Chain A
Amino acid sequence: MASLTGNRLLIAVAAIAIIVIILAGIYVAGFGREEKPAEEAATPTEREEAPAPQQPEETTPTETPKEEAPTKVKIIWASTQLVPAAEQAFVKGELLPPFTRETGIEVEFVGLGYDALVTRLQSEMEAGKATISVIADLHGGLDLFASKGWLEDLSKFGALEGRSFPKVLEDYSNLYGIKAYVPWLTATYVFVVNKDAFKYLPPGLTEEDVVNGSEKWTYEALLKWAENIYAETGQKALGFPAGPKGLFHRLLHGYLYPSFTGAQVKNFDSPQAVEMWTYLRELWNYVNPQSTTYDAMANPLLKGEVLLAWDHTARIKDAIVQQPDKFVVVPAPRGPEGRGYILVIVGLAIPKNAPNQEAAWKLIEYLTRPEVQRLILEKVGFFPAVEGVAEKLPEGPLKILASGVANQLAAPDSLVALIPSLGGKGGEFSQLYREAFQKIVLEGQDPQAILPEFKRALMSLFEETGAKLPPPDE
């Protein structure tokens, strides 16, 4: 009898154990399946362009005070930006509550990946039943949506009072004959100079030339400068984020290629491109060899391992915040074809036949107010799309950053490069530039032998995805 109860107990325990294990397994396996598409959906573009998360404790969502507004409207705002947890907390806890208090409009912020947004919009358009009222996405994505006729023409709402946008942003936001989006946020990549480096400026180049991005601030001058520092101090003072998680490929396709060949992709194997690679090979003699392990330039700058560095604004911000007196942010140098630089534009659009369009426009109006733009800059590090915000910032690290960015935007010879919208193929696009660099500059192979093959691979990415060549290629 005793042994029987013993058996029962044994059976019960074993059965429970098995059930628990199986359930756990199913849960884990099922969970993994759910995650996969989401991972795929987050394209490299927006991951990389997302600034480093700000330290978030104070931005945890606080309960929105529920005031009964006269007309209770709720709209959905789908965004591929500000998706990381800390940034979403800022959006839901700090950015939106004042808007709801002011207008009585409730906003549901839905952070999602680019591929997920495309799928959702497509199915809504095909079903003829729109649920999303506002979209926030990069220029490339909005361009695609506009080309398919999925966006409302925003000119019907009139102009936004009390703010102005730089011309380059206005121009890009007019697509296929409509005002497709309102520019909301920008981000870019800049050079950072340790002020000590100004002691070794080559003859003919002044500090003002560099800071304001004058005609004389060229890639040739950068080479001379780095050469000078090396001759006088023995230090290879230039640094690039060429580590595996670094954004060095953006320098190649968005800065060097446009500056030397006038295009990102089109002239990939042209004689000017060969010239560019030859230049980079020479420049590399003065680049800190540890660059191939740098993922972000803030630390190498702070440690003094490099005096001149190029990186995404979010990835050098730490250096400037910690030692604002030591560094200046300057525009990129120019090349024979102009001053190529990448501008990341995030725009706000309204899908065709979206519900509550008046409320949606009110949200867009709120999000592009100068003071709101400044709040976003302070909290998540995206730069404003409206003019005049940088000048009004108090002296300090943010102003150093913002005025560097503003100087780059204002340079008359600028050649704006936009990151192509290749979705999941974006990684391969970047990697082809990186691999060309590895073979030509690091391994010393002949560019003429390599470039044609790589160009074919690049072009096939555009054919496979049906994406357009990004500006300035067209």
Chain B
Amino acid sequence: MTGRASTGLLRVIREWYKPLLLLAPALAYLGLFIVYPIVDSFATAFFYKGYFSLESVKYLLYSPLSKFWEALRYTLVLAALVVPIETTLALIATLVLLQPFKGRDTAVYILTIPIAISDVAAGLIWYSMLTSKGFINKILLGLGLIDSPIVFFGYEYRDRALLAIVMAEVWRSMALVFIIIFAGAQLIHKELFEAAEVFGASFWVKLRHVLFPLIKPSIQAALIIRTLFAFQVFAVVWVLAGRDVPVLAGEAYYTLVELYRFDVAALYALVIAALSMSTGVLYLRFLRARHLEVGRS
């Protein structure tokens, strides 16, 4: 009896050890860098000296120092502004750069430069351009278009600071969206467009019925990646607006570094994680690429 069970077990092990072994590095990676930090964040956020505690939630919701709701609102507003704008711009850029013209490769390279610039550097570049003695104000003053410099930063002008953040973020991360969509578009066979042309399809028809359906998976991938990143927005906001425009990741950093509230910072991190995961699930549910589903049924 036991002998048979053990041979059965042996067989299972023999059959499964190879796939398990192959999966092991990935599982170890996920365990160490995803599961462990999440569990640890939970422990940091909700346990104090070994006991369950809701101090962090209390701080988040009731402390006069907490800017949680404002931060949540600004994070969502920024994502809602930045992601659609940059996706539209990236689509337009893709359409233009799919046409063969001289210097096209150079244009592609130039468009993708921002991806190589760190977000802090991007923030500093935009800050020094837009500050009251920055070169944009100097040009406008020099051209006589304005009498006194336009102030973009500071608490009283935080709507303008928000505008500056949107510009900087779009400039910085449009490159990523563009690369994903452009790469997808380049995989489309020329024959498809030529065939469409033979049937007399107009520019718009080609766009709507040939290009879009084929780059939809790329657009979705780009959307998912960018929306998740948008919830983590931090450095650009921190440099341009400080806490005048609070965002979730900024508040996490702030409570940790200035107030030493590890629990509150961990709770912020969990809020961001929850936001990212639920959005990811929504995207996967409602925006599943059609050609994937065709193969299913």
Chain A residues proximal to chain B, CB less than 8 Å: 7, 10-11, 14, 17-18, 21-22, 24-25, 29, 36, 39-40, 44, 234, 243-244, 288-293, 295, 303-305, 424, 427-428, 430-432, 435, 438, 442, 453-454, 457
Across-interface contacts of A244 in B (CB, < 8 A): 238, 242-243, 254, 258
A25 touches B36 (CB 8 A): yes
A14 touches B25 (CB 8 A): yes
- Report Cα–Cα, A266/B260, bound state, in Å: 25
Interface residues of B in 26-44 (CB under 8 A from A): 28-29, 32-33, 36
- Report Cα–Cα, A457/B259, bound state, in Å: 14
How many whole Å from B24's CB to the nearest CB in chain A?
5
6 smallest CB-CB distances across A and B, nearest first, come from A289-B154, A25-B32, A244-B242, A427-B259, A292-B155, A427-B258
Does B262 have its Cβ within 8 Å of any Cβ on chain A? yes
Q: Is the interface of B mostly helix, strand, loop or mixed?
A: helix
A305 touches B242 (CB 8 A): no
How many whole Å from A402's CB to the nearest CB in chain B?
29
Across-interface contacts of B133 in A (CB, < 8 A): 303-305
How many whole Å from A453's CB to the nearest CB in chain B?
7
A244-B243, A289-B156, A454-B64 are known; give 14 further A-B pairs, CB within 8 A.
Answer: A21-B32, A22-B32, A40-B260, A44-B258, A244-B254, A288-B132, A289-B151, A290-B131, A293-B153, A293-B240, A295-B242, A431-B258, A442-B155, A442-B156
Does B65 have its Cβ within 8 Å of any Cβ on chain A? yes
When C-beta atoms are compared, the residue in chain A nearest to B133 turns out to be: A303
When C-beta atoms are compared, the residue in chain B nearest to A287 turns out to be: B154
Does B7 have its Cβ within 8 Å of any Cβ on chain A? no
Q: Is the interface of A mostly helix, strand, loop or mixed?
A: helix
Most chain A beta-carbon neighbours within 10 Å: one of B64, B240, B243: B64
Does B22 have its Cβ within 8 Å of any Cβ on chain A? yes
When C-beta atoms are compared, the residue in chain B nearest to A29 turns out to be: B36
Of the A-B pairs whose beta carbons lie under 8 Å apart in the complex, a sample of 10, sorted by A's number, is A14-B21, A21-B25, A22-B28, A39-B260, A40-B262, A288-B132, A290-B131, A427-B258, A432-B65, A442-B156
Across-interface contacts of A17 in B (CB, < 8 A): 24-25
The 8 Å CB contact of A292, one of B24, B28, B242, B258, is B242
B: contact size bracket? 35 or more
Does B157 have its Cβ within 8 Å of any Cβ on chain A? yes
Interface residues of B in 145-165 (CB under 8 A from A): 148, 151, 153-157, 161
B155 touches A453 (CB 8 A): no
Interface residues of B in 231-277 (CB under 8 A from A): 238, 240-244, 254, 258-260, 262
Across-interface contacts of A18 in B (CB, < 8 A): 24-25, 28
How many whole Å from B40's CB to the nearest CB in chain A?
8
How many whole Å from B250's CB to the nearest CB in chain A?
8
How many whole Å from A414's CB to the nearest CB in chain B?
29
B151 touches A290 (CB 8 A): yes
A11 touches B21 (CB 8 A): yes
- Report Cα–Cα, A454/B64, bound state, in Å: 9
- Report Cα–Cα, A293/B127, bound state, in Å: 10
Across-interface contacts of B22 in A (CB, < 8 A): 14
- Report Cα–Cα, A243/B123, bound state, in Å: 15
When C-beta atoms are compared, the residue in chain A nearest to B161 turns out to be: A293
Across-interface contacts of B155 in A (CB, < 8 A): 289, 292, 438, 442
- Report Cα–Cα, A11/B259, bound state, in Å: 48
A21 touches B28 (CB 8 A): yes
Across-interface contacts of B151 in A (CB, < 8 A): 289-290
Most chain B beta-carbon neighbours within 10 Å: one of A36, A44, A243, A438: A243
The 8 Å CB contact of A290, one of B24, B33, B153, B243, is B153
Across-interface contacts of B25 in A (CB, < 8 A): 14, 17-18, 21
Across-interface contacts of A22 in B (CB, < 8 A): 28, 32
Across-interface contacts of B21 in A (CB, < 8 A): 10-11, 14
B244 touches A293 (CB 8 A): yes
The 8 Å CB contact of A305, one of B18, B33, B132, is B132
B259 touches A293 (CB 8 A): no
How many whole Å from A19's CB to the nearest CB in chain B?
10
Across-interface contacts of A7 in B (CB, < 8 A): 18
